[in-house]
Amino acid sequence: MAAAANVSHSRVLLGLILGALVGSLVNYFTTPAVPPPLSAEQREAVSAISGSAVVQPEPESVKRALWVEWSVKYVAKPIGDLFMNLLFLGIIPLVFASLALGVTRLGGSGDVGRVGAKTFAYFIVTMGFAAVIGLTLVNVLRPGDQVPEAQQKELLAHYAKEAKGKLDVKSDFGIDTFVNAVPKNPLKAFVEKDMLAVIFTAILVGIALTQIEATRAALLIQFLEGVNQITEFIIGLAMRIAPVGVFALIYSTTALFGYKLLLALGAFVFTVLGGLTIHLVVVLPLLVWLLGGMNPWFFFRAISTTLVTAFSTSSSSATLPTAIKNAVEDLKIPKSIAHFVLPLSASMNHNGTALFESVTVLFLAQVFGVDLTLEQQIIVLVLSILTATGMAGVPGGSLPLIGMVLVTATHDKVPASAIAIILGVDRILDMCRTTVNVAADMTTTVFVARTERNRLTE
């Protein structure tokens, strides 16, 4: 993990702060951008959602700041996208190699089954806690009742096209999700970034390496270790330019929308951040102390670089090299546990996402005047946990699944395209919930390592 060691979390944090500051100032001193004219089809779709006709803003009343849009479209966004693409370049081989090596180091299917059962049980419990916190807060604070109708229509009109693009992403979730985790074609799973299929294949390869002739297994193990080192190097390169990449990503959002969008959706943002904060500073420290037997203060100090990386990249997967390094070197987690648990966690353990999904579904239901019964909210709870388990650990990966949960829980009374209302603030909330996701991943390694202490010698 030498490459990951080059990450300077203070520089990344500085890039984040400067990007937000410069972008907000640019937005404040220029006229807000106008959404492009909607087509007749788009106007009909938005009218169907909001229940009334869409009125386009007059060109004379709001003029576009062309240079701001140009700076985002041709400078900031391309730089941010290049940074993220470089990060994701090595994610799939890294997850595969790390997980296969972790299984091999555990020593066989019996140990893998035992450790895997503990890991998955911990996932479900912690995501359940998170979703319950989210549902409780949104019922108490009722942020959806505080969005003015005019603001609702403006947000729907502005983000209608982007919402459609998000929902068009393949996000089928159900029994087939888990059936397809056993891939007919592993190479296809790699190309399509089907994380569940990649995980299953890696576990199978790891178990096989403990069963075949030792000399042949050694060659494959060395190959996997080489893949690990190559992908770590690639991701390390990406992290060297992280301060610039993070600056560009945050500037892209704040320059166009600034703080006004946060004010418009302030109650929703406050509810989500409040829930994430409770889970991060109350629930997870208690779990680290009671189940992991570790001082929470020491734990959070040790993983500070990992948390900053998670916040700046909005990706559990992109944070994986730093997380493994922190777990092994700073938390003293055995390599076999770190290389098995953390790739699984990055792909399947999303506490912050479960909380965000539960809050968002109830918030949008409240915006549209739909009160969900206790039974419907239990459905939201269960689906939030299940879909958070199956989503990809990439920026915005939960949005298509939220649309599905929304339609299911409200019986089509609120359309999936209603996610357009929250798209403007999703980037900052994505960064925050990813931080909670990764913190929960690290607590999982502490818990599993403690329960396996007498069985592992590494």
Name the amino acid, one letter, at 335.
K
For residue 243 the two structure tokens come to 């301060």
Containing structural domain, residue 229: 4-56+67-451
- The pLDDT score that the predictor gives to residue 420 is 73
Find tokens 């806690």 and name the residue.
129
Distances from the Cα of 80 to the Cα of 55, 190, 289, 306, 425, angstroms? 33, 24, 38, 20, 17
What is the pLDDT of the chain when averaged over all its residues?
79
Instruction: Please report whether residue 108 resides in a domain.
Output: yes
- State the Cα–Cα distance between residues 227 and 259, nearest whole angstrom: 43
Other CB atoms within 10 A of residue 202 CB: 24
- The pLDDT score that the predictor gives to residue 401 is 73
For residue 367 the two structure tokens come to 């915006």
Instruction: Please report whether residue 294 resides in a domain.
Output: yes
- Classify residue 373 by its DSSP letter: P
Find tokens 């992403």 and name the residue.
169
Instruction: Please report whether residue 251 resides in a domain.
Output: yes
The per-residue pLDDT for range 43-82, each reduced to its tens digit, is 565 565 555 555 554 443 344 467 787 888 889 889 988 8
Instruction: Please report whether residue 408 resides in a domain.
Output: yes
- State the Cα–Cα distance between residues 217 and 236, nearest whole angstrom: 28
Find tokens 């979730």 and name the residue.
173
- State the Cα–Cα distance between residues 245 and 242, nearest whole angstrom: 5
**At 349, phi and psi to the nearest 5?**
-105, 100
Residue 276 has pLDDT above 90, yes or no: yes
Instruction: Please report whether residue 457 resides in a domain.
Output: no
Assign 4 a pLDDT band (cuts: 50, 70, 90): very low
Instruction: Please report whether residue 62 resides in a domain.
Output: no
The per-residue pLDDT for range 167-213, each reduced to its tens digit, is 554 445 556 666 777 888 888 888 877 777 888 888 889 888 888 88
Instruction: Please report whether residue 458 resides in a domain.
Output: no
> Where residue 438 sits, what CATH number does that domain have?
1.10.3860.10
Name the amino acid, one letter, at 319.
T
In the chain, the number of structural domains is 1
Q: What is the pTM of this model?
A: 0.76
Instruction: Please report whether residue 268 resides in a domain.
Output: yes
Pairwise pLDDT comparison (105 vs 376), residue with the higher score: 376
Q: What is the mean pLDDT of residues 400-405?
A: 75
3-state DSSP assignment of residue 170: coil
Q: Which range is least confidently modeled, 46-60, 216-230, 247-261, 396-410? A: 46-60
